Amino acid sequence: MCGVRSLQLNEARDRFDLLEITSYDVTLDLREETTFASTTVIEVTSKGGDTFLDLKPVALGRIELDGTDLPVDALDDGRYPLTLPAGEHRIVVESAMPFRNDGEGLHRAVDPADGRPYVYQMSFMSAAPSVFACFDQPDLKAPYTLRVAAPDDWIVVANAAGTEVDRGRWEFEQSQPLSTYFVSLVAGPYHRIADHHDGIDLGLLARRSLAPALEKDAEELLTLTRQCFDEFHRLFGIRYAFGKYDQAFVPEFNAGAMENPGCVTFRDPLLFSTRVPRSMRIQRATTVAHEMAHQWFGNLVTPKWWDDLWLNEAFAEYMGNRVTAEVTEFDDALVWAAVARKNWGLTADSRPSTHPVAGNGALDADAALQDFDGISYSKGHAVLTQLAHQVGDDVFLGGVRDHFTRHRFGNATMRDLFGSWEAAGAGDLEPWTAAWLRKAGLDRIELDRQAGAVVRTPPADPADRTHVLGVAAWNGTAWERGEVRVETERTPYVVAPGTPVILDPDDTAWADLTIDPVTAAALPGLLPTMTDPLLRATTWITLRNGVHHARLDPDAAVAMICAGVPAEDQDAAVGTLGVWVGDDGEGARGVVHEKLLATVRDPERSRADVHQTFLARAATAPAGSDLQLAAYQAATGTATSTDWLRALLAGTETPGLEVDAGMRWRVLKRLASLGATDLDELDRELARENDAKTQIAHAWSHARLPDPDAKAWAWQRFTGEAAASNYEIEAIGTGFWASGQDELLMPYVDRYLAEVKGTTAVRSGWGLADGALFFYPITMAGPDLLAGTEQLIGDPELNLSIRRVLVDAGDEVRSRLRTRERYGAS
Buried b (16+ CB within 10 A) or exposed e, 124-151: bbbbbbbbbbbbbbbbbbbbbbbbbbbe
What is residue 125's predicted lDDT score, i.e. its pLDDT? 83
What is residue 235's predicted lDDT score, i.e. its pLDDT? 98
Query: Is residue 358 predicted with pLDDT exceeding 80?
Result: yes
Query: Is residue 362 predicted with pLDDT exceeding 80?
Result: no
CB 495 within 8 A of CB 519: no
What is residue 360's predicted lDDT score, i.e. its pLDDT? 56
CB 445 within 8 A of CB 437: no
What is residue 170's predicted lDDT score, i.e. its pLDDT? 98
Query: pLDDT band for position 447 (50/70/90)?
Result: very high
Element (H, E) at 403: helix 393-406
Q: Which residues contact 538 (CB under 8 A, 6 or more apart)?
A: 338, 502, 504, 505, 506, 507
Whole-number percent of the chain with pLDDT over 70: 97
Ranking 83-97, 345-359, 738-752 by mean pLDDT, the lowest is: 345-359
What is residue 1's predicted lDDT score, i.e. its pLDDT? 46
Chain segment 366-401, per-residue pLDDT in tens: 767 777 788 989 999 999 999 999 999 999 999 999
What is residue 592's predicted lDDT score, i.e. its pLDDT? 54
Chain segment 573-582, per-residue pLDDT in tens: 999 999 888 8
What is residue 310's predicted lDDT score, i.e. its pLDDT? 85
Query: Is residue 727 predicted with pLDDT exceeding 50?
Result: yes
User: 453-457 and 490-492 as β-strands: parallel, antiparallel, unpaired?
Assistant: antiparallel
Q: Which residues contact 543 (CB under 8 A, 6 or more apart)?
A: 515, 552, 557, 560, 561
Chain segment 584-636, per-residue pLDDT in tens: 655 444 445 567 888 999 999 999 999 999 999 999 999 999 999 999 999 99
Chain segment 20-33, per-residue pLDDT in tens: 999 999 999 999 99
The mean of the pLDDT values for the chain is 94
What is residue 591's predicted lDDT score, i.e. its pLDDT? 44
Higher pLDDT, 362 or 258: 258
What is the number of other CB atoms lying within 10 angstroms of the CB of residue 90? 13
What's the rounded mean pLDDT across residues 425-441?
A: 94
CB 472 within 8 A of CB 481: yes
Query: Is residue 826 predicted with pLDDT exceeding 70?
Result: no
Whole-number percent of the chain with pLDDT over 90: 89
What is residue 590's predicted lDDT score, i.e. its pLDDT? 42
Ranking 350-364, 424-438, 718-732 by mean pLDDT, the lowest is: 350-364
CA pair distance 634, 629, nearest whole angstrom:
9
Closest CA to 585 of 704, 716, 705: 704
Chain segment 187-228, per-residue pLDDT in tens: 999 999 999 999 999 999 999 999 999 999 999 999 999 999
Q: Which residues contact 706 (CB under 8 A, 6 or more apart)?
A: 675, 738, 740, 741, 744
What's the rounded mean pLDDT across residues 439-465?
A: 93
Q: Which residues contact 680 (CB under 8 A, 6 or more apart)?
A: none
Chain segment 458-507, per-residue pLDDT in tens: 998 888 899 999 999 999 999 999 999 999 999 999 999 999 999 999 99
Instruction: Name the residues annotated as catalytic.
Output: 291
